[in-house]
Structure 1
Amino acid sequence: MHIVVTGGAGFIGANLCTHLLARPEIERVSVIDDLSTGFRTNLDGVDVRLREGSILDPDALDEVIGDADAVIHLAARGSVPRSVADPLASHHANATGTLQVLEAARRAGDVQVVVASSSSVYGANPTLPKVEDMVARPMSPYAGSKLAAESYTIAWQHTYGMPTLAFRFFNVFGPLQPAWHDYAAVVPAFVSAALAGRPLPVHGDGTQSRDFTYVATVCSVLTDAVVRRVTSDVPVNLAFGTRTSLLDVIATLEDLLGHRLEVAHSPSRPGDVPHSQADNGRLRELFPTAAPVPLRDGLAATLEWFRTQPTEPVRSSS
């Protein structure tokens, strides 16, 4: 099998490439990434072909997808605050970019497309746990763009018979996740601050809760999806129904590090969802053997990785 990973030099993508290559069914992995948030160094020692380019470039997509069996589409402009600052850029990357990937796969013919959506699409809907059939109520441009991306994915299955699968990711964390920029996710921001002796930045009172999912768990499910060519004409939550507050994450880090951590509270950010938890019934039906890495184990592995890293990755020239 030949698998293409868009955004494969990023946090989830680079971890995924390693998982894919560990499967004997997969002979080749190709990556397309514009390196706007990913890094060549993330793929050091990983036997992939990297095509530096944008998913908004049809020629670049055709070059890498032309003989593929499946595409795992991870390339995106992440972060709710970043989308609030520049909503059009989020739309172009996340909605239009997904449309370009789907069209490239359609031109190639019989290519499975697995797309990363987000739990953020549930937005202002207060019901917990989040069931895929409930009404989506996006609270940010990022969430709206991800809802558009998964909607196009499902529409292309219905309209063109394309084998597709749209996953809703829930707060993925783990090694390779950057912490040094203004829009860093909560776990790397906490871990980086804790190891540097800085106060942990908490937006709000810290009682907001998330269904944290370790990156190796996500990569295992994504790999199984393309190996078994799993499809769905409805979105699928990729999380396991846990609910952990930010204060609980801090307490676990304190326990792992063996000392108290200082916390710096700031106002809640526009577009942030107070609570998120997945119903995993549909995931269990499609992936009955999937086994999540416990939060504590994932945090311990993330801490160990961060201890080996410089403050900021160095971008390689093209």
Structure 2
Amino acid sequence: MTAQLKKLEGKQVLVTGGAGFIGSNLCETLLGYNIKVVCLDNFATGKRENVAPFLKNSNFKLIEGDIRRLEDCHTACHGVDFILHQAALGSVPRSIKDPITTNAVNVSGFLNMLVAARDAGVKRFVYAASSSTYGDHEALPKVEDTIGNPLSPYAITKYVNELYADIFKKTYNLDTIGLRYFNVFGKRQDPSGAYAAVIPKFVQQFIRHESPVINGDGSYSRDFTYIDNVIQINMNALTTNNVNALNTVYNVACGERTTLIELATMLKTYLAQFDDAINHIEIKHTENRIGDIPHSLASIDKAKTLLNYNPKYNVSAGLKEAVQWYWENLK
């Protein structure tokens, strides 16, 4: 990755949502290669401790602002060459409970960022799209050019992002790349709160000797994707010279399917290496959640071909890394 990121020396990259789980990992990677980073975050879901180690770095600039305010977006985009847009309100259940706020952040905020990027002459706008866009389309694996009907307000907002990105290329010649994330996990992913992702939530419960609760019988499956794979494709998207790779969307995944019961069992096994009592914790079940799709599996052929994406971590290897980090940071 060193050689490709040499292209960004002297450039300035804006990471929106840079205090969040994925955003802070992206900031850390860029700073590690001596690249100037601007972080825009309103700390609604991002955490100050995620960016605290960067504050003394002269290449790092933190702007506390909200993408729902166009003036904040303009301020953040000033002098910026590239954007990694990660700011969003995630979670299907959250969007079902509060569709208005989800839409305000994910659609109006996204449009504000596109306008600010256009006005600032930004060279490339790489944004976090979502596997939720596939909706009720049942075929597996998921291929980028075939989607179904959305199953949640969140899914609608992420699809609208793709439509806006396409229009901004056609109308204003702003180059974009959308990355449809599939169930990303790894260090700094928040295990707390009502809308915590399943992996950190289960890890925290096991560490506390609590029983994790699976929605449904555990047969639902996901293409869980370790954070380092996500970092890799974001860096590839920033630096690619392949014009055919621009202005489209890509699946970001491992290309393998893991059921929820398999996931919980793996986490239990890996954590029990630190604490044998975890071996004896029961895994419980409850009803399926509204808006959840039964199965998700990505084709990553397009990303491999056009963006040289080569995920280094499969699910098992990624979980071992994540469990090690959580064990050291959650106890």
> TM-score interval w.r.t. the shorter chain?
over 0.9
Corresponding position of 2:305: 285
8 Å Cα contact 1:166-1:232 kept in structure 2: no
Per-residue CA distance 1:230-282 (angstroms, 9 max, x = gap): 65333211113111111111221232133244112111111011100111111
TM-score normalised by the chain length of structure 2 = 0.90
1:151-230 alignment runs, 5 A limit: 151-228=163-240
- The amino acid of 1:81's aligned partner reads P
8 Å Cα contact 2:80-2:122 kept in structure 1: no
Instruction: Report the secondary structure of 1:296's partner residue.
Output: helix
How far apart, in 2, do the equivalents of 1:176 and 1:295 lie?
Answer: 17
1:1-318 alignment runs, 5 A limit: 1-23=11-33, 26=35, 28-46=36-54, 47=57, 48-228=60-240, 231-258=245-272, 259-288=279-308, 290-310=310-330
How far apart, in 2, do the equivalents of 1:178 and 1:31 lie?
Answer: 19
- The amino acid of 2:100's aligned partner reads L
8 Å Cα contact 1:4-1:30 kept in structure 2: yes
TM-score normalised by the chain length of structure 1 = 0.93
> What RMSD, in angstroms, separates the aligned Cα atoms of the two structures?
1.5
Gaps of 5+ in 1: 312-318
8 Å Cα contact 2:131-2:182 kept in structure 1: yes
Gaps of 5+ in 2: 1-10, 273-278
Corresponding position of 1:315: none
8 Å Cα contact 1:178-1:188 kept in structure 2: yes
8 Å Cα contact 1:189-1:201 kept in structure 2: no
Q: In the superposition, relative to structure 1, how do residues 229 and 194 fare at CA in structure 2: closer, same or farther (>3 Å)?
A: farther
Shift of 1:16: 0.8
In terms of fraction of residues, the more helix-rich structure is 2
8 Å Cα contact 1:254-1:260 kept in structure 2: no
8 Å Cα contact 2:140-2:297 kept in structure 1: yes
How far apart, in 1, do the equivalents of 2:241 and 2:49 lie?
Answer: 30
Instruction: Report the secondary structure of 1:37's partner residue.
Output: coil
Shift of 1:111: 2.8
Shift of 1:287: 2.3
Instruction: Report the secondary structure of 1:115's partner residue.
Output: strand
How far apart, in 2, do the equivalents of 1:289 and 1:87 lie?
Answer: 34
Instruction: Report the secondary structure of 1:5's partner residue.
Output: strand
Instruction: Report the secondary structure of 1:124's partner residue.
Output: coil
- The amino acid of 1:7's aligned partner reads G
Instruction: Report the secondary structure of 1:308's partner residue.
Output: helix
Per-residue CA distance 1:156-191 (angstroms, 9 max, x = gap): 112211110011000000111111101111111111
- The worse-fitting range, judged by mean Cα deviation, of 257-266 and 195-204 is 257-266
- The amino acid of 2:117's aligned partner reads A
How far apart, in 1, do the equivalents of 2:31 and 2:138 lie?
Answer: 40
Instruction: Report the secondary structure of 1:44's partner residue.
Output: helix
Instruction: Report the secondary structure of 2:214's partner residue.
Output: strand
Q: How many corresponding residue pairs? A: 309
How far apart, in 2, do the equivalents of 1:176 and 1:63 lie?
Answer: 27
- The worse-fitting range, judged by mean Cα deviation, of 254-263 and 34-43 is 254-263
- The amino acid of 1:35's aligned partner reads F
How far apart, in 1, do the equivalents of 2:174 and 2:284 lie?
Answer: 48
- The amino acid of 2:227's aligned partner reads V
Q: In the superposition, relative to structure 1, how do residues 224 and 135 fare at CA in structure 2: closer, same or farther (>3 Å)?
A: closer
Per-residue CA distance 1:26-80 (angstroms, 9 max, x = gap): 3x00100000000111012223211011011121111121111111100000100
